[in-house]
Homo-oligomer: A and B are copies of this chain.
Amino acid sequence: MDSRPVSIKDVADRAGVAVGTVSNVLNHPTRVSSSTRERVQTAIDHLGFVRNDAARQLRAGQSRTIGLIVLDVGNPFFSSLARAAEDCAAENGSTVVLGDSGQDVEREARYIDVFEQQRVQGMLISPVGDVGPRVETLRKRGMPVVLVDRVDAQRRCSSVSVDDVAGGYMAVRHLLEAGRRRIVFVGAKAEFQQVADRLAGARQAVEEHDDAVLEVVEADAMTVLAGRDVGGRIAQRPPGELPDGIFCANDLLAIGVMQAVLLIRGLRIPEDLALIGYDDIDFSASAVVPLTSVRKPTELMGRTAVELLLEEIESPSSRRRQVIFDPELVERGSTTAAVHAAG
């Protein structure tokens, strides 16, 4: 019974028209008289015809698909970026298919291969390690590529990324504007570049105030546990040596610090100590004291990445652009007494 899938030929036969006409109904409905169109449509519905994308693409030479390769779909940053990219692509008649490299170079390479064989319109890649050479050959073969959350040092392809220095700056400036002067920066060596950038931004902000001081405390990792550890040590200092503002290099650290500070020492947040994190993970809004944080403009990045890619697809010779966004400050109760239990 399940002999062969229904082809455009079958539809044509049943509707009593030529295959070209069926194709026109599908792709250029205006070229076909309404009576014929109706007849063809009836045949399509009746037979349950589904267009064979492989054949279409073979003839057309191009697909309507964009490949997106992310480091980790479990990471909310990437999942919400993917969502935005999908929406933007859909508005332009394309579809995003997602590949999860899981930070694994091999899987990344496999997805690049698959997408290239599928002749996707272009790829958005948040690369593991150095994809320089790989991207180079892709581009040589005419495959548009946009890097996500990473800039290409050689400016060979467009990219969207975030300015972590600006993020660090705006976090600490926020503390300073709230009147804090004894600032502690908590970070770990993991993901060196980002942490270093955030620290650099923090320094920059502190230097604008003569009476402000910045102390750097190193954590073992970028985790809640490590943060709790650091928080415990800080909370046990004599009152005179306590900071009045803490900026953590990510939210997990900040949540750990918060747990320790509230429980061990009973300090009040934000009255005694203002606390700010980075990344704005889901849970930050639900912490005992909702955590102020710095977040990447994820949706904007996703949309922009797709737009850059479409731009390059339309005019392959257009100039490559490196778009760098400033992150945004999300104010919550951990720095602003007025706001309470905000979502």
Chain A contacts to B: CB under 8 angstroms? 2, 5-6, 48, 50-55, 57-58, 63, 65, 72-74, 76, 79-80, 82-83, 86, 90, 95, 97-100, 102, 107, 110-111, 114, 116-119, 137, 140-142, 223-225, 252, 255-256, 259, 262-263, 283, 286, 288, 316, 341, 343
Contacts and interface: CB of A to CB of B under 8 A. Distances in A.
Contacts of A63: 54
A7 B343 CA distance: 56
Given A55-B54, A73-B98, A263-B288, A48 B141 contact: yes
Contacts of A86: 100, 107
A252 B73 contact: no
A286 B225 contact: yes
Nearest to A60: B54
Given A117-B50, A283-B283, A288-B263, A98 B100 contact: yes
Given A5-B142, A73-B79, 13 more contacts: A2-B316, A50-B116, A50-B117, A52-B119, A53-B117, A54-B57, A54-B119, A72-B79, A73-B83, A73-B98, A95-B111, A95-B114, A252-B286
8 contacts: A53-B114, A53-B118, A54-B55, A65-B114, A72-B79, A74-B74, A95-B114, A97-B98
Contacts of A316: 2
Contacts of A223: 286
A51 B95 contact: no
A103 to B, nearest CB: 11
A83 B100 contact: yes
A116 B54 CA distance: 11
A97 B97 contact: yes
Given A53-B117, A83-B100, A48 B137 contact: yes
B48 A58 contact: no
Contacts of A107: 86
B286 A224 contact: yes
A57 B63 CA distance: 14
A316 to B, nearest CB: 8
Given A53-B118, A58-B52, A255 B73 contact: no
B74 A79 contact: yes
Contacts of A95: 110-111, 114
Contact of A100 (B76, B79, B252): B79
Contacts of A225: 286, 341, 343
A291 to B, nearest CB: 12
A100 to B, nearest CB: 6
A263 B283 CA distance: 18
A274 B152 CA distance: 52
B97 A53 contact: no
Q: Which 5 A-B pairs have the closest CB atoms?
A: A74-B79, A224-B286, A98-B98, A53-B117, A54-B57
Contacts of A343: 225
A102 B107 CA distance: 25
Contacts of A142: 2, 5
A6 B107 CA distance: 25
A303 B20 CA distance: 44
